[in-house]
Structure 1
Amino acid sequence: MNKQESQRIALRRARTEDGAAVAEVYLRSFDAALPTVRRAHDDDGVRAFFRDVVVVHHETWVADESGTVVGMMVLEENRIEQLYLAPESRGLGIGDRFVQLAKERSPQGLELWTFQVNSPAHRFYERHGFEAAERTDGSDNDEREPDIRYVWKGDATADDRP
């Protein structure tokens, strides 16, 4: 599938029944992209968290390819809390579409955290206008992994819109 064909993948709000699929995308993506980072929770804990908490109580979006969830994004106020793609769905523009959606939903600005070891994520977010604003030693995250807070300052005219 190329980027043009990926436009047929629908971005939609997650439904309760998407919880298991969202968790699987997270697990597969995390393990593929961050093999040196120890996940704070085992697979069953992650599955329960996405099924019972994230999809039910947070603004969760999925990339749906003919009924199969191939990506997920969780927004909370002005933050991208999670953005993960199935490994075989990377490089198709789906992540770009998720970020555009997040910017449309929070035009005044966004922030997010990513691990310092995740250089591809740094390049991705910087390409979308995010700037590194803070680096930590990881003592405040569950994985105890050094991380970076990125900020997108938003559209200066967003407050002037009707």
Structure 2
Amino acid sequence: MIELTRAGADDAPALARIHLAARAAAGDAFPPAVHPDEDYLPHLLADVLPHAEVRLARLDGETAGFLVLEGDLLADLYVAPPAQGRGVGTALLGHAKRLRPSGLRLWVFVSNAPARAFYALHGFVVAGRTDGDNDEGAPDLLLRWPAPS
């Protein structure tokens, strides 16, 4: 069973573990991180949790994934590698759609084919692209849901 709750500061270490494990497991789908791994937890505590909507997914009682919403921007959606393919990402994304029925946007790296396929399956369409106008300097795509008319 997947349970979704609002994340708080006490959840930050679990969120950081999920983020780092998911990026590591994705291999070349992500460009190299710009910041050291040990900077992610302080970033969550200082910059993300106090200012964004963060939802946590638990699968059978275990922390399994999270999302970060900043207005209509789905800033992050990560699922722990052992929980991938078990509906956690779909549950989180469905929750984000219910929270933002007027629409969502997100950025995904061109190199992240699994994420691009996941979002396409859930109705997101390409609405823009860059050649690397981001911290990582890697090409990315702006995706939107629902599709612009």
TM-score, with normalisation over the residues of structure 2? Answer: 0.92
Contact 1:18 / 1:55 at 8 angstroms: preserved in 2? no
Cα distance in 2, alignment partners of residues 67 and 14 from structure 1? 14
Q: Which blocks of at least 5 consecutive residues in structure 1 are unaligned?
A: 1-7, 157-162
Amino acid at match of 2:91: R
CA contact (8 A) 1:34 1:118 kept: no
Q: How does 1:104-143 map to 2 (within 5 A)?
A: 104-138=98-132, 140-143=133-136
2:102 aligned counterpart, secondary structure: coil
Where do 1:38-49 residues align within 5 Å? 38-49=32-43
Q: How many Å apart are 1:37 and its aligned residue? A: 1.4
The counterpart of 1:28, out of the listed 14, 21, 24, is 21
Q: Partner letter of residue 106 of structure 2?
A: L
- Count of residue correspondences: 147
For the Cα contact (< 8 Å) 1:37–1:143, is it kept in 2?
Answer: yes
What secondary structure sits across from 1:56 in the alignment?
A: coil
Within the alignment, does 1:146 sit opposite 2:145 as a pair?
no
Deviation at 1:125, TM superposition (A): 0.3
TM-score, structure 1 as length reference: 0.85
- For the aligned residue pairs, the C-alpha RMSD in angstroms reads 1.6
Spell out, residue by residue over 1:8-51, the C-alpha distance to the aligned partner (whole angstroms, 9 max, x if none).
12111002100111111001101111445110110111121113
Shift of 1:67: 5.0
Q: Which stretch of the first structure deviates more once superposed, 52-61 or 88-97?
A: 52-61
Provide the C-alpha distance between the structure 2 equivalents of 1:75 and 1:84, rounded to a whole number of angstroms.
Answer: 12
Distance 1:18 1:44 in 2: 16
The reply on whether 1:62 has 2:52 as its aligned counterpart is no
Q: Tell me which stretches of 4 or more aligned residues in structure 1 moved more than 4 Å.
A: none
Over the matched positions of the two proteins, sequence identity in percent amounts to: 38
1:66 Cα deviation after fit: 5.3
Structure 1 match to 2:73? 79
Q: Deviations over 1:64-118 (max 9, x none)?
A: 2455321010011111100000011100111111111111111111100010000
Q: Is the 8 A contact 1:20 1:51 kept in 2?
A: no
Q: Which runs of 5+ in 2 are unaligned?
A: none
